[in-house]
Amino acid sequence: MLDIIEKIKADLEKAKNLIKDNESLEEFRLKYLSRKGLFSTLFEEFRTLPGSEKGKVGKILNETKNLAQNIFDMLSESLSGNKSDSDEDYSLPGKTFNTGSKHLITQALDDITAIFRKIGFSVYEGTEIEDEFYNFDALNTPDYHPSRDMQDTFYLKGDFEKRYLLRTHTTPGQIHLMKNYKPPIRAIFPGKVFRNEAISARALGMFHQVDGLFVDTNVTFTDLKGTMDFFAKEFFGKGLKTRLRPSYFPFTEPSAEMDVECYLCNSKGCRICKYTGWLEILGCGMVDPSVFDAVNLDPEKYSGFAFGIGLERTLMIRHNIPDIRMFYENDIRFLKQF
Ligand SMILES: [Zn+2]
């Protein structure tokens, strides 16, 4: 049977150069590819072969049939092409092609990564499934903390030694980094996070965060302030003022939130800034000593700062997007604007 197939293969190569019109192409199709054609017969024969031969013969037979199909497709395209060429009206406008572009979220992640790379931060990609140690315990979020509730967190079902969950923030990246690398550590860790929330204009079950960490000896609050200010001005606009307000996070002490001047109303007060003249853009603070304890770093020797940016929220502010669901509806009219 192999001999026959080899012979057909040679015939096919010859036929390729001989077919010049639709009539001979149709003959070709009838001879090789139709229901009563050569390949149908060969495949029937193939079924009766002993199992030991089937592997080798099957492979060559399939290859040869694909070759015939490709020759047919290629010839039928070029023959029909020739025909329409002569009918073509050269005064018609040219065809345009729609090109894709990066999604707004991807663009923003690229921007943020580029900004932090300029000042020596590397990028760390964590995992979306964490256990309670990384997501909560090591980040000073004790058992009774409300965010550990089933109402807020997606826990994985199954019989595991530990309780696994979809990370609720990208902050566990801090713990992975400090457990695996020696300071100085300077990295951002962007990614998806998951919350068990009712979906609304302000909330989704999945969104993106970019966390960051800088740990070394003698890192001070001034370093934090300078770094956050640099980011805000690069991302939102060079001339804008920023300010820090005291806040609370379990894993930083002291903690702060950074605001940037509302450039939508020139700080006069508008609906987006809730008439304060300021837009809240990120949370940050000095790494809490209890976090250093959890990863066995000496808080007497090392200090550091951490920060977290909610990506969709920040973009909603930057582009005045009223509903968080718009990011993921794939409406081309929305996507085209960016
Ligand atoms: Zn405003």
CA of 221 to the centre of ligand 1 (A): 28
CA of 279 to the centre of ligand 1 (A): 7
60 within some domain: yes
pTM: 0.69
CA of 188 to the centre of ligand 1 (A): 29
Q: Is residue 12 domain-shared with residue 147, that is, in the same domain?
A: no
Q: Is residue 317 domain-shared with residue 232, that is, in the same domain?
A: yes
CA of 198 to the centre of ligand 1 (A): 28
CATH number of the domain enclosing 167: 3.30.930.10
Q: Is residue 175 domain-shared with residue 274, that is, in the same domain?
A: yes
CA of 266 to the centre of ligand 1 (A): 7
75 within some domain: yes
Q: How many CB atoms lie within 10 A of CB 260?
A: 26
Contact indicator for 174, 291 with CB cutoff of 8 Å:
yes
CA of 317 to the centre of ligand 1 (A): 10
Q: Is residue 175 domain-shared with residue 42, that is, in the same domain?
A: no
CA of 280 to the centre of ligand 1 (A): 11
| Ranges of the chain with pLDDT below 70 | 81-87
Contact indicator for 221, 307 with CB cutoff of 8 Å:
no
Q: Is residue 196 domain-shared with residue 329, that is, in the same domain?
A: yes
CA of 237 to the centre of ligand 1 (A): 15
Distances (CA, A) of 246 to 77, 257, 285, 286, 336: 69, 6, 9, 12, 38
99 within some domain: no
96 within some domain: no
pLDDT of residue 81: 67
Cα–Cα distance between 3 and 333 in angstroms, integer? Answer: 59
pLDDT of residue 136: 93
pLDDT of residue 84: 54
97 within some domain: no
CA of 268 to the centre of ligand 1 (A): 6
pLDDT of residue 168: 94
Q: Is residue 119 domain-shared with residue 219, that is, in the same domain?
A: yes
Q: Is residue 136 domain-shared with residue 82, that is, in the same domain?
A: no
pLDDT of residue 143: 83
Q: Which of 79, 70, 71 is nearest to 20 (CA)?
A: 79
CA of 269 to the centre of ligand 1 (A): 4
Q: Is residue 129 domain-shared with residue 212, that is, in the same domain?
A: yes
Q: What are 268-313's pLDDT values in tens digits? A: 998 888 899 998 999 999 999 999 999 999 999 999 999 999 999 8
Preceding amide of 184 cis, omega within 30: yes
CA of 213 to the centre of ligand 1 (A): 30
Which range of residues forms the domain containing residue 316? 104-335
93 within some domain: no
Per the structure, the count of domains in the chain is 2
CA of 265 to the centre of ligand 1 (A): 4
95 within some domain: no
pLDDT of residue 191: 96
Among candidate residues 56, 87, 118, the one where a domain is terminated: 87
189 within some domain: yes
Q: Is residue 50 domain-shared with residue 150, that is, in the same domain?
A: no
